[in-house]
Amino acid sequence: MIKVGNILIKNIYCMLCYAFKNLESVAQVSSSAEIFDNMQDLFSVILYKGISHQLKRGLNREYEEKQEQLSTVLGKININETIKTNSLSEKKLICEFDEFSENSYFNKVLKSTCLLLLRKGDIKQENRKLLKKILIYFSDIEEIDLKRVEWTKISYHRNNVTYKMLINICYLVVKGLLMTTDKGELVLNKYLDDRQMHSLYEKFVLEYYRCHYPELQPKRIDIDWNIEGDKTGIEFLPNMQTDITLIGKEKTLIIDTKFYSHSISLHFGKISYLSNNLYQIFTYVKNKDVDNTGNIEGMLLYAKTEDEILTEENTFNMSGNNISIKVLDLNQEWELIREKLNNIASFIK
């Protein structure tokens, strides 16, 4: 689990803003003096602010199937239910119809996540009041079982794309912070694990460069295996896809982002970088540089977390290509994080 202090919590918020393209909040948060006690506290404020903005735009609406007893025909008459309920004796019909309602799936997820934080979260009283205040606007929206939400099947389009960051925050709350005790009780964890932070870290770095350095064409790319001669069985080789690739005028930089609680290994008393990471970036670079120009470079960009040992940055020339190891300290002021990422980009421009 990743322990989070106040500076790191604020930086995680900024990373989330980049990852989900909500950049208008970055400057406000990075310069804010607001203090968060833990991740639950942070997410409660994010949801309050995000939902407040969404209310100004208008809550998402969807067509919802309804069945009611009515005096006039609306939609389709359900004859079986009309007979079964003896509605004709009251000169009424059971009708089925679609209603354009705010009781949409998106709003159900938002409401249910806010209620989860209120019931299980360790949230400061003032932030608890903010969540309760915003939930007044959700009085007609149903609560759902968050354990049954199929997050990967949620799709976005032009009319609901403003919900993307909010729904992903809900996902982090439910999947990252929701835990089950030995007694079967649901509790919220105050921390995030490596897997969730790695995914966020990777997306943040990519979106940062897309936002500030579009001329470097930041993107993920697929790399083909540089196989000479008979290519029989090549389809069984694993796919190679970079985390981030920056393309300059003369150089191309392949960045592999890494987020671990512990980013070094200890073998027979010897401290070393994790070998699999070096093997991976070396493989990417050598298979991309098919002409052996040396213009393809690789970088392992570690996020500094709890390791005090991993502070050294090195560049090695391996078989004609530079492979560098950089460390991005997420426990420092936001402007220093920006400076480090900008320096990496300027190296290749």
Angle at CA 268, nearest 5°, toward 266 and 272? 35
Q: d(Cα 114, Cα 36) in Å, to the nearest integer?
A: 17
The whole-model pTM stands at 0.69
Query: Chain-wide mean pLDDT for the chain?
Result: 81
Which of these ranges, 95-109, 157-171, 192-206, 334-348, has the smallest mean pLDDT? 192-206
Residues 6+ apart with CB under 8 A from 128: 44, 118
Predicted confidence band of residue 91 (pLDDT cuts 50, 70, 90): confident
What is the rounded average pLDDT of the residues 40-64? 85
Predicted confidence band of residue 45 (pLDDT cuts 50, 70, 90): confident
Residues 6+ apart with CB under 8 A from 161: none
What is the rounded average pLDDT of the residues 99-107? 85
pLDDT digits (tens, 9 = 90+) for 69-90: 878 877 788 888 888 888 888 8
Domains in the chain, ordered, with CATH? 6-60+103-192 (no CATH), 62-101 (no CATH), 196-348 (3.40.1350)
Distances (CA, A) of 349 to 36, 208, 213, 252, 344: 38, 16, 9, 9, 9
Inter-residue contact 162 to 54 (CB < 8 Å): yes
